Amino acid sequence: MTSFYYLSTVLSTLLLIGAIHSMLGGAWRRYPVLFVYICLTFALSAPMSFAFLVSGATWTGVSRSAYWVLSLSMQLCGVLLVLALLRRAGELRQGTSLMVGWLSFGFLAVLAGSAAWHYEAFAAGRPNRWMTFVSRDVALVSTGLNLLLWSVLLSHRKRDHKLLFVSAGLGLQCTIDAIGHALRFFPNELKEAGDLVISAGSILTSYVWFRVFQPAVVRSVSGMRTAP
């Protein structure tokens, strides 16, 4: 288990560095919110992961608190990114700004409601379980928002394929978070499976960011022959 955490941390970090490097070629101007999100993911997750592994892969009270603060911060940034992309995707439609405003208000209401609804776990001295509930609910709402983004993108006659891939990466991240946090409610093996799902998901989503912004390989096929 610990070996896999080491592997996922190293691979995710390298892929995020590669994605940032690729976006610095000019894509960051077109996707500034996504660029900030990827940089924030790298800045928050990499130091926390390495500190956890250096400590012998054991959780302390401080490390748990730091983990949840960073995890929820990244989830909130992901929601902001989906809302920003949704506004951009529907910029030619009337009422898009109003819709995004209502969705933002709705998300904040769900976040506050989830924190209040599950507060009993926190009051009972189980803050990790409380944060797991809240993170799961945020991931579910994020998945719903991402599906809405997909529907808007697919309704366009002229589709932005890169934006579709960006949305797919966000959807993958939200779905993995929701599944992983849901599995954490079960004991023993299933709980560990939730940790594995989240760790494996970090590799997959980092790979998506890395691949989406790789410069296209230009191949001149005219005049080329496969044999002399």
Whether pLDDT at 1 is above 80: no
- Report if residue 21 sits inside a domain: yes
Q: Which domain holds residue 174?
A: 2-212
> For the segment 161-195, what is each residue's pLDDT rounded down to a tens digit?
777 788 778 778 777 777 776 776 666 656 677 67
Q: CA-CA distance, 77 to 186, in Å (whole number)?
A: 28
* pLDDT value for 124: 83
Per the structure block, which two tokens stand in for 77?
């940034």
Residue with tokens 């933002």: 104
- Report if residue 221 sits inside a domain: no
Whether pLDDT at 228 is above 50: no
- Report if residue 223 sits inside a domain: no
- Report if residue 227 sits inside a domain: no
- Report if residue 16 sits inside a domain: yes
pLDDT (mean) for 200-228: 64
- Report if residue 185 sits inside a domain: yes
- Report if residue 56 sits inside a domain: yes
Angle at 8 between CA 166 and CA 33, to 5 degrees: 30
Q: Under a CB-based contact definition with an 8 Å cutoff, are residues 55 and 66 in contact?
A: no
Q: CA-CA distance, 220 to 58, in Å (whole number)?
A: 53
> For the segment 124-169, what is each residue's pLDDT rounded down to a tens digit?
877 777 887 888 788 888 888 888 887 877 776 676 677 778 877 8
Domain count, the chain: 1
- Report if residue 172 sits inside a domain: yes
